[in-house]
Every structure is written in structure tokens, then in C-alpha cells.
Amino acid sequence: MTPPRNSSAARDIAHVLHPYTDHKVHQQAGPVVISRGKGIRVWDDQGKEYIEAVAGLWCAALGFDNERLVKAAEAQMRKLPFYHAFTAKSHEPMIDLAEMLIERAPVPMSKVFFGNSGSEANDSAIKMIWYYNNALGRPRKKKIISRLKAYHGITVASGSLTGLPANHKLFDLPLPGFLHVSTPHHYHGAQPGETEEQFATRLAEELDAVIQREGPETVAAFWAEPVMGAGGVIVPPATYFEKIQAVLRKHDVLLVADEVICGFGRTGSYWGCQTMGIEPDILTCAKALSASFLPISAVMINDKVFQGIAEGSHTIGTWGHGFTYSGHPVPAAVAVETLRIYDEIGLLDHVRRVGPYMQKALRARFADHPLVGEVRGVGLIAAIELVEDKAARRNFDPARKVGLRLAKLGEEHGVILRALINDTIAFSPPLIITEAEIDAMLDRTAAALEALAVQLRRESLAVV
């Protein structure tokens, strides 16, 4: 149904180019216009209420209202609404935030660089690594390895790291020098009878073979999310990162941990690195850094990487990288207050209590459902994967858009869901969610899933 003329939805159709949207469909269906939020809920411009099961884009850690963050932004805008970080200029919010991040880092880190999004953070880290190797006299050591189904952003370089087809098709990506190895997903990737540990060994051997094939002198870094997010909420198999890191150390390849989704408590530890036993050389983060109240991201680098950058900048006279809004004082002040709130309310303890509750409840409700192939996750990040054949682990034909249909039915039942590749439905609610709210979220999801099952049964009968 076409939205009424001059409505917000009609004006949106007329003027807005949306990210991650089928624009032919959008011209007819229009948007859901969200007008306000409180706690884990949002309301559209028609007054309909929704539970936000993915915290927006994995990111609204404190939900959709917080007076302390509003006041932090207002106070900083009155005191110093903008200043830059170029040519050794600085300000207190940026200094405070960098210090707080270094103090909280999962491994010893030396310096922090600020950007405005996870994409910018990963893009900046790529440039740092190329610069670092040039400064060390290793101009051939530039290739970067990521994983199929990884998501690291959408700039030209970070989009090349990303391993999802929709981020490459028609964009002429990935660029040369970006390589992708297998997805660490035991459910789909393991051979018959292969244990998680055996699967992890095989993936480490694959990485080792790729590095040796390319030449270790040409491979600079390996990128990894502790838990893969947009690629389907894929939790790595047991011993995976232990074995991967042994390969990287053998070949002097840097490890970059993309904590954009996992950081600040999502997995039940402050960092996903701590949950998965990762010791990165570089760590990127964003999203929950400011509870997503304002755009900000960060790249933490260890001293080895910093010394290389410092040497190169001294030779040239500058490190020629940065953004007008790197370390912008208002987002930085909000991020400082966000980290204080996390500490003061005991957010990590809360996630450690409600995360297992959500994982258990998801499995109890959906693991045996005939349309659900796998329930997976850790902490407050999880997914259910819809399949056509449960025994064969066979997904639906993508043309049927089963995951997107469930997400739309979810909206009808008052829950905003995120449909990912392979008809995977993600759950990543605000970290403040309670057990009762988890139950409500899953009740609404279950109702939507039953509505989908009815649709699919009717379609099957129609085909027969």
C-alpha cells in the first residue's frame, strides 16, 4: 500500500537513499518511521510499539533513552562544541577516553586513534598496517586475510575485508590484495563426524597454506570478529583462535580484532577477545563505545605497531591520516560517560546473568522447531537459522526471502528482528534487557515464526 501523500513515509520515499535496502520495493512499501524510544522499546510514527531485538544495529547498549548521556552531550556542546586533533591539537574528552580505553584493553596497548564508525576504524587500521610495513622497509608485506561471511565495514578497503556477497556485487570489490579463508561455522562447514577441535585444526591448516602460497613476506595481517555478527552470529569452534594465532605468530602476521559488535560486554566479557582467548596487535571498536548515542569509533594499537608508525611519521614529517571529526569532543564526552555508566551499574555482571538466560530460553523455545536448523550464540548475541530441511541442514532458496518475511511478520507482532544471510535471524538486544523482557521478545518472535510456518504450509499445498 502506497503511503499517504505528504506523510513522513511518502517524503522518505521521495528523498532518501537508504542503506541496505531494495529500492524498487521501497518505492512501493515505504519505511517504518521510528519516532521515539525508551528502554528496549521504540515506537513508530503511528504509535505502534516494538521490542528492539537487535538494539538497532547491534549497538544501543543502554537502550533508547539515557538522561546522563544527554546531559554529557549538552555540557560538552556548551563548553567546547568542536575541536580537531590534527597537528598535535587536543582536548580533555579525547584524552580521557583514550586513557580509559587503554586501561580497559584486553591486552597491553599503546595508543588510540579515533574515527566516526566501525568502517572508518577498520579502514584506518588497514592504512596503519600498510604504513607500518613501509616504515619497516617491508613494502611487499601488504596482503590482508579475512574470512568468508566476515563483516568489517563498507568503505572501499573495509568493504574488501568484508566477506559477504551483497557487499561486493556491483561494487567491484574486493580490491586486489584482500584474501578470504573459510568461515569457522561448524554447523555448515564441518565434515561428517568432524569435532569442533578437528574442524579448528583444519581451518588453521588452511590459513597456514594460504600464507605459504602467497608468501609470508607478502602477508601483513589477519582480521577477525571474536563472534561473527552480520555473517550470521557465528561462534568459532573450540580451540579455533588458539590455533589461528599460532599460525599468525609463525609467519609474523599481525592480528586485528574487530570488536565493533562484541566489545563492551556483548559476549559476557568486557571484550570478545577475552571470551575467545584472542591477543590482538590492533583492536577496533565502535557502536557500544558511546552506546550509539553519537558516532565514534576507536583503533587501539600495541607499541610495536606504534613505533613503526612513529618512525614513518618522523621520516616524512607527518602521519598523513585522520578525519575532521577524529575524537570530536562531544561524542568523546558521551563515550567517557558511557564507560562510566557501564562500570557504575555493573553492566558486565548483568550480562553474565541475563545472557545465559537468553541462550537457554532461545534453545528451549526454538531448537526443536521444524523450521529452525540451529540456535547459536554467547552472552547477549544469538541467532536462529531457518532451514527447509532440518535433517539435511539445507537452507531455503534465497529467492523465497524466508528470513526477511519472518522479520516483517515480527514487525506485525511488535518485535524488530534482523534477517541475515542464510535466513538467519539475529538477537542482540540492548545490554540492559531483563529476563522478563527477554521472555516478551521471544514470545513475539515465536508468534511471528508460527505465522511464517502457516504461510509456508499454504505455499507447499499450493505447489502440490
pLDDT band at 460 (very low <50, low <70, confident <90, very high): confident
pLDDT grade for 5, boundaries at 50, 70 and 90: confident
**pLDDT tens track for 228-269:** 999 999 999 999 999 999 999 999 999 999 999 999 999 999
Q: Is the pTM of this model over 0.85?
A: yes
Give residue 185's Cα distance to chain centre: 17
CA distance 289 to 260: 9
Supply angle C-alpha 446, 452, 457, rounded to 5: 125
pLDDT score, position 464:
34
Average pLDDT of the residues in 101-117: 98
Number of neighbours of residue 136 by Cβ within 10 angstroms: 14
Pairwise CA distance, residues 266 & 393, whole Å: 28
Cα–Cα distance list, 186 to 190, 226, 363, 393 (Å):
5, 15, 17, 12
Q: Is the per-residue pLDDT at 186 higher than 90?
A: yes
Cell reading at 103: 586501561
Do 63 and 430 contact (CB within 8 A), yes or no? yes
Residues forming beta bridges with residue 169, ordered by sequence position: none
Distance CA 407, CA 371 (A): 15
Looking at the domain that runs over 32-65+348-463, which CATH code has it been given?
3.90.1150.10
CATH number for 68-344: choose from 3.40.640.10, 3.30.300.30, 3.40.50.720, 2.40.170.20. 3.40.640.10
HSE-up of 146 (CA within 13 Å, CB side)? 25
The DSSP 8-state label assigned to residue 106 in this structure reads: S
Q: What is the mean pLDDT of residues 84-113?
A: 98
Could you read off the pLDDT of 43-79 as tens digits, one per residue?
999 999 999 999 999 999 999 999 999 999 999 999 9
pLDDT given at position 462: 63
Domain boundaries, the chain: 32-65+348-463, 68-344
Which pLDDT tens digit goes with each residue over 72-83? 999 999 999 999
Residue 222 has pLDDT above 60, yes or no: yes
* 463, pLDDT greater than 90: no
- Supply the mean pLDDT for the chain: 97
